[in-house]
Amino acid sequence: MRYSYILTFKNEPPFDRDPETTWNSFLGEFVKPIAERFPDLLFWSSFYDDHAAFRVHSDSEDAQRFIEDKIASAPLIFDPQEEIGVTLLLDLGHPRFVNHSLGGEAIQRRADLTLSFLCSTTRLYLDGLILDGKGYWSYQITKDDQNPEGHNFQSVHHLFCNISRVPTMIQEVHIPTKNGLLKEIQSPFAVFQLIDRMWDRTIPCTVSNPQRVHF
């Protein structure tokens, strides 16, 4: 069965609003029915502004037909030739996930474990999606002192960092505004999002003072 699907969003409902709504609606309209129809299916998905990557590892012909029918019925553009040769091992068995000197058995095991982790993460996120009655999806607010932004994944992220002790780089971002200089503390990925999505590309931004921290 095919592993990788690159799906580009058409500028049509429910993909015609902001990036967050587009992503949540893609998950709610496309991924969630797949997850519910096949509760044991191993899959995951990620967002790249104008398109999404949907990855699935299965030999089920029923699952493949169902996925392809969902693609055909959704406002998505799919090129069957794109990433046709990508496999689980090429993707999640990549050297960024596992030291290849450990050998083939270890690479396969790590790829399987990473897939299970990403699938569980995706299914957990799907569980929090809600439909607004107008065909658009959003993520349900989870109010708690441990979730400053009202998102339960803040608590999940906290525990992930406690378990893994993974170091996270943070940087100062200096952005000129009409009222002076705005300084924010951002992770590298947030810096990318800030510059690429929220600010005009012509505005000169400077990044400085990188620090490695544990959360």
What is the C-alpha separation between 10 and 28, in angstroms, rounded? Answer: 16
Name the more confident of 174 and 117: 117
Mapping DSSP to helix (H, G, I), strand (E, B) and coil, where does residue 28 land? helix
Q: 42 with 127, same domain?
A: yes
Q: 29 with 121, same domain?
A: yes
Mean pLDDT of 38-44: 98
What is the separation of C-alpha 130 from the centre of its chain, rounded to a whole number of angstroms? 18
Compute φ and ψ for 52, nearest 5 degrees. -130, 150
The pLDDT of residue 78 is above 50 = yes
Asked if residues 130 and 27 have their Cβ atoms less than 8 Å apart, the reply is no
| Encoded amino acid at 140, one letter | Q
Question: Which residue, of 139, 154, 177, is where some domain finishes?
Answer: 139
Least confident stretch, 28-32, 64-68, 208-212: 208-212
Mean pLDDT of 187-207: 46
Q: 113 with 12, same domain?
A: yes
Mean pLDDT of 95-102: 98
Find all residues with CB under 8 Å of 190, minimum gap 6, and list them: none
The pLDDT of residue 25 is above 70 = yes
Task: Give the CA count within 13 Å in the CB-facing half-sphere of 125.
Answer: 21
In a domain, 69, yes or no: yes
Least confident stretch, 18-27, 100-109, 148-157, 183-192: 183-192
Structure tokens at 62: 């029923």
The partner residues of 45 in beta bridges, in order of sequence, read 54
Q: 133 with 194, same domain?
A: no
Percent of the chain with pLDDT over 70: 78
Q: 125 with 186, same domain?
A: no
Q: 93 with 185, same domain?
A: no
Q: 17 with 65, same domain?
A: yes
Cis amide prior to 14 (ω within 30 degrees): yes
The pLDDT of residue 196 is above 50 = no
Taking all residues of the chain, what is their mean pLDDT, rounded to a whole number?
86
Q: Residue 153 has what pLDDT?
A: 92
Q: Residue 132 has what pLDDT?
A: 94
Q: 40 with 94, same domain?
A: yes
Q: Which residue stretches of the chain are H helix?
A: 19-26, 32-37, 61-73, 88-92, 104-126, 153-164, 188-193
Q: Residue 200 has what pLDDT?
A: 44
In a domain, 151, yes or no: no
Least confident stretch, 32-41, 86-95, 100-109, 190-199: 190-199
In a domain, 149, yes or no: no
Q: Residue 170 has what pLDDT?
A: 64
Q: 45 with 129, same domain?
A: yes
| Structural domain that includes position 71 | 4-139
Least confident stretch, 87-91, 103-107, 123-127, 168-172: 168-172
Q: 98 with 20, same domain?
A: yes
Task: Give the CA count within 13 Å in the CB-facing half-sphere of 38.
Answer: 18
Asked if residues 66 and 48 have their Cβ atoms less than 8 Å apart, the reply is no
Q: How many domains is the chain built from? A: 2
What is the C-alpha separation between 200 and 185, in angstroms, rounded? Answer: 19
Q: Residue 215 has what pLDDT?
A: 43
Q: Residue 177 has what pLDDT?
A: 63
Q: Residue 95 has what pLDDT?
A: 98
Q: 65 with 127, same domain?
A: yes
| Encoded amino acid at 61, one letter | E
Q: Residue 187 has what pLDDT?
A: 54
Mapping DSSP to helix (H, G, I), strand (E, B) and coil, where does residue 156 land? helix
Q: 120 with 177, same domain?
A: no
